[in-house]
Amino acid sequence: MLSYEDIIDEIGKNVYIYPLNVDNVRGNSINLTASNIAFSVNGRNLISQVEGKEKIIIRSKEVALIETKEIIYVSPRIGGTYHSKVGKVSKGLSHIGTTLDPGYIGTSLISVCNNNDSSIELDVGDTLVSVILYYLKTPTKYRNTNVISDHINVFKDAGVSTIDIVNITNLLDKEWNKNSISLKNKMEKDDGEFNRFSVEKKELQEQNRNKNLKLYGVPLLYVIIVGIIIWYIDKTSINKSGDLKITEKYVIIVMTALFTKLFDKYIQWQKGE
């Protein structure tokens, strides 16, 4: 499972999001928000204007199909799961539980049911769902390249009108909604938020450097000092038995330990940990 620090580090490498909002990256998840593409499974457009605001109005016992505002890409070494927001479930919306495939790119189509006896209103742009990301032990070759057409087929099966299907297609069928390089470029051109994200990432990298310095620098200094002391003692003594000197034994032990540690780090890197 990726933490806040992991997610920030992976954005721009194995994770792309547009539009990017750093505030939506949480301790171990990313909040995705509701777009204005929202229909019931009976084909009814759920978007209404209420006091100058776009609202999603879900009637009692009605099942809604809502696209997220964010387009997300994850590399073949990362997968994920979608989870409900307590605030939304407490209002009467059903739980959300589905998966994010490795190599996925596109908006997320979320289905929820209003279990209340009265209508539920959601603001367009409100948090709808959280996605938790995980590293895969082995990167997968599987990839769904039909995300847009799959979503459109869901709306067609729900009986959404032909005019609305055309509008949905025009909104979803963008190059950055199906090509990871275009999505990355789109994300990086969002100067204000991406610059803010870059500052946050740089601060975290600096914190990690300081942490690693404390984690490895002090023990390494200790090893060097002890090595110098043993070397001096060994140099002033005579080993007549022909066995390995203390210095040679010490060097072998230290090099073995360091090699083991570096090898473990290499394995973690290969796994994307």
**Higher-pLDDT residue of 133, 265:** 133
6-26 mean pLDDT: 91
Residue 228's pLDDT band (boundaries 50, 70, 90)?
confident
Lowest-confidence pick of 37-46, 98-107, 236-245: 236-245
Please name which of 242, 241, 103, 109 lies closest in space to residue 168, comparing C-alpha atoms.
Answer: 109
d(CA 61, CA 117): 7
| 200 has pLDDT over 90 | no
Burial of 61 (0-12, 13-18, 19+ CB in 10 A): exposed
pLDDT of residue 5: 87
For residues 84 and 98, the answer to whether their CB atoms sit within 8 Å is no
Judge contact between 82 and 99, C-beta under 8 A. yes
Please state, in angstroms and rounded to a whole number, the distance separating the CA atoms of residues 223 and 220. Answer: 5
What is the band of 193 on the pLDDT scale with cuts at 50, 70, 90?
Answer: confident
- What number of other Cβ atoms are within 10 A of residue 265's Cβ? 11
User: Which of the two residues, 245 and 1, has the higher pLDDT score?
Assistant: 1
Q: Is 256 in a helix, a strand, or coil? A: helix
DSSP string, 129-154: EEEEEEE-SS--------HHHHHHHH
pLDDT classification of 198: cutoffs 50, 70, 90: confident
Sorted by where each begins, the domain ranges of the chain are 4-189, 201-271
Q: What gap in Å lies between CA 150 and CA 164, rounded to an integer?
A: 16
Q: Where are the alpha helices (DSSP H) in 115-212?
A: 147-157, 162-172, 180-188, 191-212
The percentage of residues in the chain with a pLDDT greater than 90, rounded to a whole number, is 60
Average pLDDT over residues 177-196: 85
pLDDT value at residue 194: 75
Mean pLDDT throughout 154-175? Answer: 95
If one compares 84 and 225, the residue with the highest pLDDT of the two is 84
Q: Hey, what amino acid is at 142?
A: Y
CATH ID of 4-189, from 1.20.5.50, 2.60.120.260, 3.40.50.800, 2.70.40.10: 2.70.40.10
CA distance 64 to 46: 8
d(CA 83, CA 177): 22
> Which positions ≥6 away from 212 have C-beta within 8 Å?
none
Token digits for 64? Answer: 């809604």
The predicted structure's pLDDT at residue 70 = 96
State mean pLDDT over 109-119.
95
